[in-house]
Amino acid sequence: MTSEARLRDAYVWIWLPGETSPVVAGRLEAEGDTLFFNYGRSYLQRENCIPLNPNELPLQTGVISPLNGLTIAGCIRDSAPDAWGRRVIINRRMGRKGANVDTGILDELTYLIESGSDRIGALDFQHSATEYVPRSAANVTLPELMESADRVEKGVPLTPELDQALFHGTSIGGARPKALIEAEGKKYIAKFSASTDIWNVVKGEFLAMRLAQLAGLHVAPVKLVKAAGRDVIMIERFDREQKADGWARKVMLSALTLFELDDMLARYASYETLAEIIRQRFASPKETLLELYKRLCFNILCGNTDDHARNHAAFWDGNSFSLTPAYDICPQGRAGNEASQAMLISGNNNLSRMSSCLDAAHHFALSRADAHTHFMMLKTAIETYWHHVCDEAELSQVDRKSLWNRQFINPFSLE
């Protein structure tokens, strides 16, 4: 940490289920690198108040410490910017150059309070407990957003105009360049290509998301557009609901938070454990287990090995959990055939192949035969819709050949 002044506290505001304006829920206070939370008395007296996360921040008076081993409650960390947003904040605050700048240069409270207010989920962070002041920017064009993203990647300080253009999206997760867009009554996350891309990652994600949708998975709607001669994937946000008087927000918790782990311990996250949590705490567990199993199979079949625990999430409505639509299904580059998933599948096994899925079938309340049937149905769907979706993406024949049997339906996945 540098000599940058550290924030000592901030107030957590929440959009309660169905509401279009936020209320203050409580206060965060820093002691060293640890953030402690305290619900406000006025919040606890509300008839419709809900815990931010029932396991780690139950509704109670007094200071609540993070769970053992954590320095911040997972549900709070879920609302913080990840690598990309932190680089933007460092750029706008300090003019730091270079893609490898240490994001630990600022403290966690600063990242929470400096990032845009239209963040994923239903929380925001303010200096005041009585006055809510959103940190947002007016809608700007995609070319402007792409120009500002390029400058951050190159380590070039943003101009005031470009600063505002990109600031709105600093609170969304992930490491790749992205921004928030509102158009035609919908909200989108726009993802851009990165200067380090050695293949068309944007089109690859579009292919995987569209194929997943056509294969019957519950996924966020996507569309592919061009801006300044470059491809942009637009992912429709599912944590927002338009009402007559504004936008309602949905509380979201990552699987990493449900596991009660932090990023340093993410290697212990597994589909097996997530399936157990679904059986115990989710609405419609049988249907949800099947959906999760099919997402696992599809990730393997499309070469998405970046299925870490932040790329799975649940809605929380104060009564029960439900799986969000799938997102961030993006094929990853691979040199050979053998690959492994970011999350363990069953036991210590994370190999990206059909046998791993079949061996784990009982965790998803499936027989081995039914598990095999679902796997093969997804394989058939990818084969059936492949050329159609490639045509939608205007993918060149060279790119089609390079992706087929490498990322998509790699022979190793069928072992």
CA dihedral 187, 193, 196, 197 (to 10 degrees): 120
- Series of mean pLDDT values for 10-residue runs along the chain (415 residues): 69 98 98 96 98 98 95 96 81 65 81 90 97 78 73 68 54 67 86 76 96 98 88 94 96 98 94 98 97 98 97 97 98 90 98 98 98 98 98 96 96 96
Alpha carbons 324 and 258: distance in angstroms, whole number? 13
Q: Which residues 6+ apart lie within 8 Å of 277 measured at CB?
A: 258, 259
Determine how β-strand 252-254 pairs with β-strand 313-316: antiparallel
pTM to 2 decimal places = 0.91
pLDDT at 285: 98
Read off φ and ψ for residue 10, nearest 5 degrees: -160, 155
Q: Which of 228, 309, 332, 262 is nearest to 74 (CA)?
A: 262
Planar angle of CA 140, 146, 151, nearest 5 degrees: 115
pLDDT at 162: 55
pLDDT at 28: 98
- Alpha-carbon distance values, 114 to 87, 152, 403 (Å): 12, 16, 39
Which two three-digit tokens encode residue 226? 């061009």
pLDDT at 317: 97
Alpha carbons 398 and 381: distance in angstroms, whole number? 22
pLDDT at 161: 52
Q: Work out the number of other CB atoms within 10 angstroms of the CB of residue 7.
A: 20
